[in-house]
Amino acid sequence: MMKILFLIILINKINGYGEIPQSWDSREVLVMMNSLRMNPNQYKENFMKPYGFKNLENVITTKYYEPVSPLQFNEKLFDMALSHSIDMSQSEDCFTFENCNGTSFYDRIDDWKCDENTQEHIYKSSTSNNGFKAINRLICRNSVDCLKDDDPNVGDFRDRIMGKDINYSGTGIVFNESLSTWFYTMDFTLTSCTPENDQQSGDKSIISATHTFKYGDPKSITFQQQLPITFLANYYNSTQSIDSFYLFIIGKNINLKVTLNKLYSSDNDKTTNGVYSITLSENSYSTCDYYYFQVTTQTGQIQRYPTKGFLKIIDYKQSCNGVAWSESSSNFSPLPSLPQNHFYNFFPNFINSESKKVQEIDNDKSITSNTTILIFSNYLTMFLISILSLLLLLL
């Protein structure tokens, strides 16, 4: 089993690139988490309210939370998360922070020699592998009628994802076909697990970026055809303001150069930091098309995501053999613009139905490495008290 596990991780390393999540669905999750961290109120307005979520005025409120800086992807955290998702996916009875062989959470993460304060959130769903939907379900907790922040059943995800004590993240997602279930492991640390690689990976102003189909469900009869596609990017740089922000698509049928628009700011428009997006029609792309993002700052500096190579448009059917990054592509001359009928407003003209004929799995848990240490300390304290009491009795 371990040989298979590390073979899968090795394949991901070959097909990926170290500065970005090596799978499209992991990148989608990171962008959604960062869009939330940068401006919770605007996140709710843009990513939750249009999809029917309710009671949002009591969700991630300023009483308990404030905007925090976006998370950077870390390859080692991704590998650690992926390994645990693979492990959990082997059995329907293994949804735990321990390895399925019984290895404790603390011992498991110690094997990766990462941050001592590693935090982890695990989630499983039978709905679909949709990072857009997953983050919203984790925030809301209760279908679309969201639990308020001080509800005793709200869980740990809001505290986890809005924490000031994390800077790096990696999410591993694995599907078990026989169980029809996706297993997510989200790992977080304060310091980088691979600082030597971070220094080599270039500019980090475009923290994370991806394509997404929002709430389009390819299993639905309505969406059997190709879906409208949205491109999202998180920009965060306290010194470099944006002059232009472009998306380049290198397509099978057409090459595009499209301007990304600021969806919302992270700091009340004091800088150009924020979430940028553009939504294109289903006729504007083909699966497996290449794309990348490029910013030109007001000082003329060019910033690119990824810093080398090209991302690929993968759908929920994991087209392109699931390979989300390519080192090279054919040369192209981008077109200056698209016809207006290629564009959609960001807000959807449909609300995704959550009704299912089969019962859905939707479950999650959180833990930190300190939790394990504290539990161990409690047991140690109880043990010492018991020994002391026994000695007193003997005397």
Q: What is the pLDDT along the chain (395 residues), one digit of tens a residue?
A: 433 443 344 334 433 345 688 789 999 999 999 999 999 999 999 999 999 999 999 999 999 999 999 999 999 999 999 999 999 999 888 899 999 888 899 888 887 878 878 999 999 988 777 889 999 999 999 889 999 999 999 999 999 999 999 999 999 999 998 988 999 999 999 998 888 777 655 667 999 999 999 887 555 435 456 889 999 999 998 888 999 999 999 988 888 999 999 999 999 999 999 999 999 998 889 989 999 999 999 999 999 999 888 999 998 777 888 788 888 765 445 444 444 445 444 443 333 333 333 345 568 888 877 643 333 333 344 445 455 555 555 55
pTM recorded for the entire structure: 0.83
d(CA 205, CA 209): 11
* SS3 category, 248: strand
d(CA 198, CA 118): 18
* SS3 category, 277: strand
Tokens 């996706």 correspond to: 182
Torsion, Cα 171 191 19 337, to 10 degrees, reads 80
Say which residues have a Cβ less than 8 Å from residue 361's Cβ, sequence separation at least 6: 124, 125, 126, 181
Both tokens of 43, joined, read: 């996140």
Paired sense of beta strands 119-125 and 168-176, if any: unpaired
Domains in the chain: ranges and CATH = 2-386 (3.40.33.10)
Distances (CA, A) of 270 to 105, 110, 238, 239, 274: 42, 41, 10, 11, 10
Q: Which amino acid is at 198?
A: D
CB 322 within 8 A of CB 344: no
So what's the pLDDT on residue 366? 82
CB 105 within 8 A of CB 369: yes
d(CA 27, CA 269): 26
Paired sense of beta strands 362-368 and 242-250, if any: unpaired
Q: Is 113 left (phi over 0), alpha (psi -120 to 50) or beta?
A: left
